[in-house]
Every structure is written in structure tokens, then in C-alpha cells.
Structure 1
Amino acid sequence: MGYQTQYIHPDLKLSRFDDTFYKADVLFEQHLLVWLISGETKIVQGDQTHWFEAGDILLFPRNQLVTVINYPKYGLPHQSAVMHLTKQRLTDFYNKNKVEVRQMQPPVFRAFDRHPFLKSCLNSLIPYFDLREPLPENIASIKIEEAITILRTIDREIDHLLANFDEPGKISLTDFMEKNYMFNMPMDKFGYLTGRSLTTFKRDFKKTFQTTPQKWLTEKRLELAHYHIREKKRKPSEVYLEVGFENLSHFGYAFKRHFGYAPTEMAG
């Protein structure tokens, strides 16, 4: 059994997979509130790595790159309940609840330490997944508004994230790419996050770095892997996903082609 997603409403789903692990470099178009029911999740953002387990509750901001690696654990699949906090729903909420919003630093995901308010709210969704028909919109709206209200109660700064509906503007290509090169994303997504069309992104990239995006990304990822293996004494199998490669054998081939020796030789 592979990856399964069960929707009871467009904004409410139950995700499950039973494979050894599932890795994705993600860019969510809307905020996601996630409750880990079973399994374990590893999140890599920039040079920070975080581990979460069953019971933890996370909020992933929209338009932020993050690497997520999910693992089954204790013989149980990785399973999570997910609530989408869409732009339209948040706009409707904040039209009724006016707030003053200030600009924030680029947001990072938030962890809520199994807060009982949120756990109770998300746990109450589980019986609905036994329904044979979609969850009525009025009930879904009540549950999502409850979650938003709880977030505002336990995090006084959350309005500055949830009520900010700005789209990415044109920013420094050098600064952004140096911080986010390890994310394996389509080029048009990199362009969007830097406030550029795909054509403008490629043109500006060539002018800035004197090479193509794909060549530059591959070299940067290999250099990061080299650092982790040599300086931090980590195994190639531990780092290839984190630095943006999808396949261990392809990583080994690219590494040897670039450096002249295999990563396993250096690790040994």
C-alpha cells in the first residue's frame, strides 16, 4: 500500500502511507494545520532540522519552502489529519474580525506542543472520516473557524501571518537562492517566490550566476553534501534527500563525477 489521501471536504483530509519513507520539497499555496496521528516527521528548513512524532501539531505557512520526510514507526503507518486554511476562508474570517497586520520576517513552520485546545479540535474530525458522504459545508466551516479561533488564542502573533494576503514581490535572487538551493522545486516555483516569471527568472539567474539554474543547483547541493559527509561525519544515505537529490544511486554518480571519488570513499 502506498500513499493514500481521503478527503471529507476540499479543506479537510486524512493522509496515510505505509512505505519506508516519503520525502517531498513542498511549497503550499495555503496554510496547512497538521496533526500527526502516527509515525514520525522530519522537517528541514534552511540549516535547521526538526523531528516530530505522533501527537504533535504543526502549522505550515503558505509560500514557504520546506523539506518534509515522513516515516512510519512502531509498525504503524504515517498518518495525519490536515486542515487547509485557504485564502478565501481567512479573508472571510478577518472581514468579520478586523486586525492590524504588520510585516513579518519570512515565516517558518510553527509547532504547538500538542496543545489540548488544538488536539481536541482536530481529534473531533476523525469520526467524520467514516462518513459515506462529504462533510456538509456548514459543519466544515464551524470546525475550521474553531481552529482559527484557537490559533489566535494560543498564539498572539498568528494574525500577522494568517491575515497577511500579500503575494511574493521581486526580491534579491542571490539571497534567496543561497538560502533555498537545497529544495528540489520546479524553476517556475523559484521564479514565483522571487517575484519573477519563469523567463525573467532564467534571464536574471544567468546574469547573476553566469551559469544555468540546474547546473548551479546541482553543484551547490553536491558541495553541501560534501560538507555534511566530511565535516559532520554523516553517511551519504543520511544526507542525499536533505540536499535535494531524490535517488541515492543518482546522488552517488553525480558526486563522483563532480569530485572524482564516491561519497562512500570519503565517508570511510
Structure 2
Amino acid sequence: MKITEIKSCFVGPVISPEQFIAEHFFLFLAKGEMNAYDGTKHYKLKPGESCMVRKNRLARYNKIKENNEFEKVIFIFDEPFLKDFQKKHHILFKNHPSKDAFIRLKKDKLMDSFLLSLEPYYNGSGDIGKTFSDVKREELLLILLQLHPELSDVLFDFGVPGRLDLEKFMQQNYRFNVSTERFAFLTGRSLSAFKRDFKTIFNDTPNRWLVKRRLQEARFLIEEQKQRPSDIYLDLGFEDLSHFSFAFKKEFGMTASELLDKI
């Protein structure tokens, strides 16, 4: 069996579907392709490639099926598991932390053998049963740290994000569809401090500013780049096309489609 023939597998706690990475996780892609964006950098993952995805980051994914199939292996490394692992194995820090949200991992026979070893443990839903899931998570993490010792600085840093330049962060990340609470956390502020600082900088509430900023970008993309509303609304943080169309007409007096027809 080739590693690109592996079926989808998910091990660890459930992760949030929002565009915020709450826990570190390992991702191996068996079939299809995946494009990702973290606000500053684009990433591409092809079949047979793997990466570590960092927690406390904003990220957006776009998966491309191969022959109508998309198969991946995901292992979640949540904080309680990592703290237990650290105590057990006396982890040392290398002081070379990566700044990327998606850390590409090198291919290795040891990793290939591990991935192939998962097949006998799959249950009917493609998951690994609780009896063996933590054992396999520990095995995978030992392999990762052997191949990439520098990951210790990423995985075992249990601190919270520090205080950031709020204006710069929001202008860079306004497209991500996450809650105000997440934005506050990522900029190193309590919710009340975030709202207070936001009002001082932007003279508006976070929710109103986000909608206006996204709509301004939408108008630019339509007028200057001739992009269709259906192609941009998700990337701009709107959950559905009807909400985007309603907000656009309310802001500019015409729908996005009407603006496109006028150009």
C-alpha cells in the first residue's frame, strides 16, 4: 500500500470550523490538493506532503479534490496532551521557532512507515478508536521531534499572544471570518480593552468597521479587477452570498452584480 492511498483519518479533540486555529495539528495529504492563507503568506500542499499547523493563528483553507476524492490524515495536539508529553519526555527547547502558520515537514521513511501503520486501527468512520489514539499521537510526536527538533519551540510554548499593533493587525486580517473575541485574544487584549482601543483608532465598533472594510475591498475587486461577487464574498469574510449582497446594496445603493454590469 502506498501512503497516497491512505484513507482519511482524524485523531484528537474536535477542532473549530472557524478560521482560527485553536490547537496545533499535523496534516498529511493523501489525495487532492490544499491551498491555505494565513493573512501574510500563501501555502500549497500536494499529495504525499505534510505540515504542522500552528495554533493561535488565523487561516483559510481551500481544498481541491482529485477524481472527486480528498483524503487527509489529521492529528490534533491539544494543550493537555502536550503538557503530559512534555513532562514524560523532558522536552528541551532549541530556541529556533518558526514564524509560519503552516510548517512544511520533510519526507522521511520513518514518517511513511507510521502513516501506513494507521490502517489496521481505523474504525468504520475512518477514525482511530480511543484505545489507541493517544498511543499513536505520542508515537507521531516522537517521530516529528526526531525529524524536526525545532518544533519543540512551537509545540511546547504555552503562552498567549502578546499585545500587537491593533491597526496593523486589523488591516492585515479583516478578511478572516472570526469573532470579535478572537480578534481581541490575538492582539493580546481583553475584549473590553480591544473595543476601547478599536474605538480610539478607527472611531467605530469592530463589527461595523469589519463590514465596511470588507465592502470597500469588494467594490475595489469588482471595479478594478472585474471580479464576480460569487467569487469573492467568502474570501472577504461573508458567510453567504445573500448576506453579502444585502450589505453591499445597503452601503452603496446598488447590488454588487449591478455594479459589475455597469463596468
Please give the range of the TM-score, normalised by the shorter of the 2 chains.
Answer: 0.7 to 0.9
Distance 1:38 1:260 in 2: 45
Higher strand share: 1
Q: TM-score, normalised by structure 1?
A: 0.77
**Aligned pair 1:81/2:67, yes or no?**
no
Do structure 1's residue 187 and structure 2's residue 168 form an aligned pair? no
Report how many residues are paired.
251
1:220 matched to 2:213: yes
Partner of 1:20: none
2:201 equivalent to 1:208: yes
Q: CA deviation at 1:184?
A: 1.0
The 3-state SS of whatever aligns with 1:168 is coil
CA 1:200/1:64 → structure 2, altered by over 3 Å: closer, same or farther?
A: same
Q: Indicate the residue corresponding to 1:130 in structure 2.
A: 123
- Aligned identity (percent) is 30
| 1:46-69 CA-partner distances (Å, limit 9, x unpaired) | 154444344332321111111123
> 1:216 offset after TM fit, Å?
0.6
CA distance in 1, matches of 2:200, 2:118: 51
From the two aligned structures, give the one with the greater helix fraction: 2
* Cα 1:54–1:213 shift into 2, 3 Å: same
Structure 1 unaligned spans of 5+: 16-22
Q: SS at the partner of 2:237? A: coil
One-letter amino acid of the counterpart of residue 59, structure 2: V
> Partner of 2:150: helix, strand, or coil?
coil
Asked if 1:157 corresponds to 2:160, the answer is: no
Name the structure 1 match of 2:137.
144
Give the structure 1 partner of residue 83 of structure 2: 91
1:145-202, CA deviations, whole angstroms, 9 ceiling, x for partnerless residues?
2322332333343222112111123332222212211111111111122222222222
| Aligned-partner residue type, residue 172 of structure 2 | K
Alignment RMSD, CA only? 3.2
Contact kept in structure 2, 1:12 and 1:82, CA below 8 Å = no
Counterpart of 2:113?
A: 120
What's the CA shift for 1:82?
1.5
Tell me, in whole angstroms, the C-alpha distance in 2 between the residues paired with 1:106 and 1:255. 36
1:32 aligns with 2:25: yes
Gaps of 5+ in 2: 1-7
Distance change (3 Å), C-alpha of 1:74 and 1:114: farther
Deviation at 1:265? 4.4
Task: Please tell me whether the aligned partners of residues 24 and 78 of structure 2 are also in contact (alpha carbons under 8 angstroms).
Answer: yes
Alpha-carbon distance in 2 for matches of 1:161, 1:79: 26
Quick check: 1:128–1:135 contact (8 Å CA) kept in 2? no
Q: TM-score, normalised by structure 2?
A: 0.79
From 78, 90, 93, the counterpart of 1:100 = 93
Deviation at 1:205, TM superposition (A): 1.4
Quick check: 2:39–2:58 contact (8 Å CA) kept in 1?
no
